[in-house]
Structure 1
Amino acid sequence: MDWRRLKAALLEQGSVRLAGEDADAYISRSAAGPSAGSAGSVFFAVGNRRVRLGIDPASPVTLVHDGGGVATLALGGERVWGRLEQAALHCPRQAYITVTGACIFGCRYCPVPSLAGRRKSVGEIARLVESVKGRIDAVSITSGVASTVEEEEEYVLEVVRALRQFDLPIGVAIYPTPDSPRRLHDLGVVEVKFNLETATPALFAEICPGLDRDAVWEALRQSVALFGRGRVFSNVIVGLGETDEEIGQCIDELAWIGVIPVIRPLSPAADLADLPRPSAERLLGIFDLHKQALQRAGLHPEEALTMCSACTACDLVPGRDSP
């Protein structure tokens, strides 16, 4: 089995049809990002590699649960034996928590602004981590923006203070203010993720109106100096209309300054629900560009402690999804 090609094909499809024994204990549901408000997803693993797939009764991919987490995946004529992984909170081996499930911004790929989600209390978040602390290696925090970017940062910092009691690595992904890198570092956060989202400034202006891509770049630069090369991450979505050359250049620019790009296939949702998911062949080609850029920069996503690069289920990740 060529895992890299299989995962690319699965990411192109993005979903599975569940069959067999009841798998409800293995279904994870999201409060943030393009999958917020969906029917949920499952994590299918083969050895130490995993992929996350949404649940869709119309999917051409079938996942048969034989019970106890043992499962068989069928795509085309290929059958793959593996297991379903239970998410601790949102993903396996992490408490990955959305602090505020609402957002004042309107990024066109994201359904969160239309869902009227709520903000979790600090005590509630601490209790969530307490409930899974025996099954996790890290805590990861992300958030929408309830009122202002500055107010959201203050609240997330309060959450981080409350979670230091668990003595676990903490990663944080928020929309940054100029002081975010320093303030998060001072609290002992080990990794941060500030998302460029798009390969080019022009696409960012179109897809994320009201946000400042230059401010994200500056936060990334500052963060590398504080957290170190390879401890700073940035999502870049594939499938928004960028060329391979444009995404390759963005990957190179991020890696050169010490940031690990998280190359995220578009999950069509919200205003972009009619767009296609990127093809497996395109994902494989970009994976090669990504791998080469990371090698040149001496960056190793397989060493990530928190967030998406520690999970790897939603993306093709050099160092984890290839030899």
Structure 2
Amino acid sequence: MHWGTLKARILAHGSVRLTGTYRFHPEQSTAGPGAGGRGSIFFATSQGRIRLALDDYSLLTLTADADGSARLTGPDIDICGHIEEAVYHCPRQAFITLSEGCIFSCRYCAVPSLPKYIKTRDEVCAMITAVKDDIDAISLTSGVIGSVEEDEKRAVAVVQAVADFGIPVGVSIYPLPGTPQRLKDAGACEVKFNIEAATPTLFHEMCPGLDYAATWEILEDSVRIFGRNRVFSNVILGLGETDAEMETCIRRLTEIGVIPVIRPLAPSPGLPGLLRPTADRMLRMAEFAKNALAKAGLDPTQAKTMCTLCGGCDLVAGRDI
């Protein structure tokens, strides 16, 4: 079976039940899919990696031996690989949440319900110092605590400090006009500003208080500042959009030079009735994105930081399919 097809089937489940003798510490998320949950584990083969939430009732079972070798089984799935330990949030990256918690209340996101905590610049530098020999990238994300302006100011200060490590730095925060240039000047090499929903109607329903049109404008500005293949945007698959609406969003992103990160919905109590997208739908949208990216001359495999470099949560066009 082609890797992309198999990965889509696994991602459609999104979770795994763990068994075996391997001792490890599940990765605990404070941002993104799985934030506030029990944790997750990375399963990898020679073809790629997958991040799966821990769930004792999952239809998938991951049996891991003491040496880290593992076998993933479930409906129409039987594949051998190994466990990849996360450094911070994912393998080979210091992917650090600066502000844990958020003043906004996006319906698909658990971050606003988490205890609020802001990491200091010195704390982040100490975290990176402890793992600098085991990482290829520094990726910074953040909720918004206080105000968007305060959060951006903190992020810029941290980027300035960690740029001295000489490791590529990527940043994903809620942006303001001028944010891309300030992050670039501080030392960031890539940014990810998230459109989140395929249509403005869905965005306003899911993300009250956030500005859809302004984010598009800032993404365009980001491409001018950072260059092509250095600007990314999450679009959640499964919020109620049609395939045609998702395709329109993907095409619009690629036409302005932005690489879309098509993130399968993680169902939550805030979204009753919405289910995780099927494997077939993930594959359709990933294939469409692959073609749109090629037409625009964009290459996700050039990513130096963040989600597209990791690829655990999504199908990465050009790598997985």
Same fold, judged at TM 0.5 (above): yes
Gaps of 5+ in 2: none
For residues 291 and 34 of structure 1, what CA distance do their matches in structure 2 show?
23
Match of 2:234 in 1: 235
After superposition, the CA RMSD in angstroms is 1.1
Match of 2:135 in 1: 136
Match of 1:197 in 2: 196
Distance 1:273 1:93, change over 3 A: farther
Residues matched between the structures, number? 321
For residues 307 and 90 of structure 1, what CA distance do their matches in structure 2 show?
10
For residues 232 and 180 of structure 2, what CA distance do their matches in structure 1 show?
12
Match of 1:310 in 2: 309
Kindly state the Cα deviation for residue 38 of structure 1 after the two structures are TM-superposed.
0.7
For 1:1-323, list aligned pairs within 5 A: 1-25=1-25, 27-272=26-271, 274-322=273-321
Kindly state the Cα deviation for residue 270 of structure 1 after the two structures are TM-superposed.
4.4
For residues 272 and 40 of structure 1, what CA distance do their matches in structure 2 show?
21
3-state secondary structure, aligned to 2:117: coil
**Counterpart contact for 2:160–2:187, Cα < 8 Å:** no
- Return the letter of the residue paired with 1:292: N
3-state secondary structure, aligned to 2:183: helix
**Counterpart contact for 1:111–1:270, Cα < 8 Å:** no
Moved more, 199-208 or 71-80: 71-80
- Return the letter of the residue paired with 2:204: A
Kindly state the Cα deviation for residue 116 of structure 1 after the two structures are TM-superposed.
2.2
- Return the letter of the residue paired with 2:180: P
For residues 68 and 187 of structure 1, what CA distance do their matches in structure 2 show?
42
Listed one character per residue, the Cα deviations across residues 129-166 of structure 1 (whole Å, up to 9, x for unaligned) are: 11111110010000000011011000111111111121
For residues 18 and 209 of structure 1, what CA distance do their matches in structure 2 show?
37
TM-score normalized by the length of structure 2: 0.98
For residues 191 and 243 of structure 1, what CA distance do their matches in structure 2 show?
30
**Counterpart contact for 1:101–1:119, Cα < 8 Å:** yes
Kindly state the Cα deviation for residue 68 of structure 1 after the two structures are TM-superposed.
1.9
**Counterpart contact for 1:34–1:270, Cα < 8 Å:** no
Distance 1:274 1:68, change over 3 A: farther
Listed one character per residue, the Cα deviations across residues 68-96 of structure 1 (whole Å, up to 9, x for unaligned) are: 21100102243211011011110011000
3-state secondary structure, aligned to 1:38: coil
**Counterpart contact for 1:34–1:268, Cα < 8 Å:** no
Kindly state the Cα deviation for residue 33 of structure 1 after the two structures are TM-superposed.
2.5
Kindly state the Cα deviation for residue 34 of structure 1 after the two structures are TM-superposed.
3.8
Kindly state the Cα deviation for residue 5 of structure 1 after the two structures are TM-superposed.
1.1
- Return the letter of the residue paired with 2:65: D
Kindly state the Cα deviation for residue 231 of structure 1 after the two structures are TM-superposed.
0.5
TM-score normalized by the length of structure 1: 0.97
**Counterpart contact for 1:34–1:109, Cα < 8 Å:** no
Gaps of 5+ in 1: none
- Aligned identity (percent) is 52
3-state secondary structure, aligned to 1:113: helix
